[in-house]
Amino acid sequence: MMRHTLVVVMLALAALLVGCDDDDTDLATSRDPVPPGNPVTGREIFRFDTFGNERFWTDTLRMHEVIQSSVDPLTALAVGLKVDADALPPGILTQVDLTDPATTVALLELGAVVGLKAQVENGTIRRVGVTCALCHSDVDDSVQEGIGRRLDGYPNRDLDPGRILSLSPALQDPAVQAVLTSWGPGRYDAYWNHDGINDPTVIPPAYGLDGVPVETFTGEGPVSYWNAYVAVTQMHSQGSFFDPELGIDIRATPDLVTPKLPDLQAYQLTLPAPAPPAGSFDADAAARGAEVFSGQATCAECHAPPTFTDAGERVHAPSETGMDPVLAGRGTTDGYRTTPLRGAWQHPPYFHDGSAATLAEVVEHYDDFLGLGLSAEQKADLVEFLKSL
């Protein structure tokens, strides 16, 4: 009994010592995997945690002033912001003026604007920050377009992050404005402020990633790696990110990001890719398309079930599948990860740069580029199969 108590005390002391690590992080580099976490806490972090990035969105970008003076709800919806209907008191939307910025402030005070978190005092926004949900949650439009129940993990392809950033008084340099307004809805460049190259990608889903060996279009690493990258270098949160391969070493004390990565990752891995809506594809054609997919069209050589990505951590040179090479050269892998295909029906356009508007265009691209010689019927069947995933 005594011995047991002693062991417990020693373990507690060891834990304390580890906790006193002077840079507040237990990760050697941000590429290291994190231990398992709690998805319930992770959901709160994903939706509501700004990791202290108010210092950037408020103190530097002064977005609180922009929203206060000129962003009425119709403008907010027009740049792709979404409203969480569950956070609204019943009937409120019939009583408010959607052309008045004060209504936006009221919605922020209710915590109803997805991905934006504000501190409001007597009708004035004091602080504002952003959360992961800004780009990676949508709503089901059940009240009206842009207003409904949260759909976490769905990419917000209506959101125009560049347009939103371009409203900041701190970003009025014409060269910066030109870049920010060139992206358009559903696109963002997560490396531009690091390497100065303007080559945005579509915002990808954060669902369907359980069992997918590497994340991001260029297969940079685990979910936690990319979460830390985005939280620290893009959302400008108060946290540490250390990656010798990218040459980035940012340390913050206290570190409001690193300790949350296990829970945040655990939540994302619980998000399933959405099933196709009933009646959205022809089941007989999809069954024939499955044969084409793993046969003549050679798709399954890279897109392997059940997630339809590569089994290992391999990436493909852009020339293997006829992709634009720029992004591959900006990451550290020089290639593209085979995109998992579950839920692909939900998020057109396709490929990292959105260069294929529809699944039919994807199939045409491969038929041309790989010289597959598919018949019109085989192509149509393949599209039905893709819609069924």
- At 218, list the tokens: 């260029």
What is the nearest approach in angstroms of ligand HEC to the Cβ of residue 170? 17
Query: Which listed range, 10-18, 70-78, 84-92, 358-366, lies at the site for ligand HEC (CB under 6 A)?
Result: 358-366
Q: At its nearest, how many Å lie between ligand HEC and the CB of residue 299? A: 3
Q: Binding residue for ligand HEC (CB under 6 A) from 67, 125, 273, 297?
A: 297
> By CB under 6 A, which span of 62-70, 99-107, 171-179, 345-353 interacts with ligand HEC?
345-353
Q: Assess contact for 265 and 223: CB atoms under 8 A.
A: yes
Instruction: Answer yes or no whether residue 303 interacts with ligand HEC by CB under 6 A.
Output: yes
Choice from 166, 338, 346, 378 touching ligand HEC (CB under 6 A): 338
Give the span between the Cα atoms of 215 and 206, in whole angstroms. Answer: 10
Give the integer Cα–Cα distance in Å for 4 and 97. 66
C-beta of residue 349 within 8 angstroms of C-beta of residue 357: yes
Q: How far is the CB of 156 from ligand HEC (least distance, A)?
A: 8
Position 128 contacts ligand HEC (CB under 6 A): no
Distances (CA, A) of 140 to 45, 85, 151, 257, 264: 21, 10, 7, 29, 23
Stretch of 62-70, 89-97, 142-150, 291-299 lying at the interface with ligand HEC (CB under 6 A): 291-299
Q: What is the dihedral of CA 158, 161, 167, 170, to 10 degrees?
A: 180
Q: Tell which one of 230, 269, 273, 285 touches ligand HEC (CB under 6 A).
A: 230
State the Cα–Cα distance between residues 66 and 88, nearest whole angstrom: 23
Q: Is 201 in the site for ligand HEC (CB under 6 A)?
A: yes
Pick from 73, 362, 379, 388 the residue near ligand HEC by CB under 6 A: 362
What are phi and psi for residue 373, nearest 5 degrees?
65, 40
Tokens of residue 31, six digits:
């590429």
Question: Is residue 203 within the footprint of ligand HEC (CB under 6 A)?
Answer: yes
Does residue 309 interact with ligand HEC by CB under 6 A? no
Of 231 and 256, which CB lies nearer to ligand HEC in the complex structure?
231
24, 249 in Cβ contact below 8 A? no
Among 298, 304, 305, 314, interactor with ligand HEC by CB under 6 A: 298
Q: Which two tokens stand for residue 288?
A: 């024939």
**CA distances in angstroms from 231 to 141, 238, 331, listed in the order given:** 27, 8, 17
Alpha carbons 81 and 94: distance in angstroms, whole number: 19
CB 209 within 8 Å of CB 271: yes
Q: CB nearer to ligand HEC: give 103 or 118.
A: 118
Residue type, 98: L
| CA atoms of 230 and 166, how far apart (whole Å) | 19
Nearer Cβ to ligand HEC, position 107 or 202?
202
Residue from 366, 379, 380, 381 binding ligand HEC (CB under 6 A)? 366
What is the Cα–Cα distance from 154 to 160, expressed in whole angstroms?
Answer: 15
Phi-psi region of 19 (alpha: psi -120 to 50; beta: other; left: phi over 0): alpha
Q: What's the one-letter identity of residue 85?
A: A
The sign of the dihedral angle between the CA atoms of 60, 65, 70, 72 is positive
Instruction: Out of 161, 186, 239, 262, point to the residue binding ligand HEC (CB under 6 A).
Output: 161
- Per CB under 6 A, the list member of 321, 329, 360, 361 interacting with ligand HEC is 321
Which tokens in the block code for residue 94? 């019939």
Query: How near is the Cβ of 99 to ligand HEC at its closest, in Å?
Result: 27
Place of tokens 């358009």: 184
Q: Select the span of 89-97, 178-186, 247-255, 334-342 touching ligand HEC (CB under 6 A).
A: 334-342
Does position 192 bind ligand HEC by CB under 6 A?
A: no
- Residues in contact with ligand HEC, counted by CB under 6 A, come to a total of 49
- Residue 316 lies near ligand HEC (rule: CB under 6 A): yes
Between 84 and 103, name the residue whose CB sits nearer to ligand HEC.
84
Residue 24 half-sphere exposure toward CB, CA atoms < 13 A: 15
Binding site for ligand HEC (CB under 6 A): 46, 130, 132, 134-136, 161, 188, 190, 201, 203-204, 206, 209, 215-218, 223, 226-227, 230-231, 235, 264, 268, 297-299, 301-303, 316, 320-321, 323, 336, 338-339, 341, 344, 350-352, 362-363, 366, 382, 386
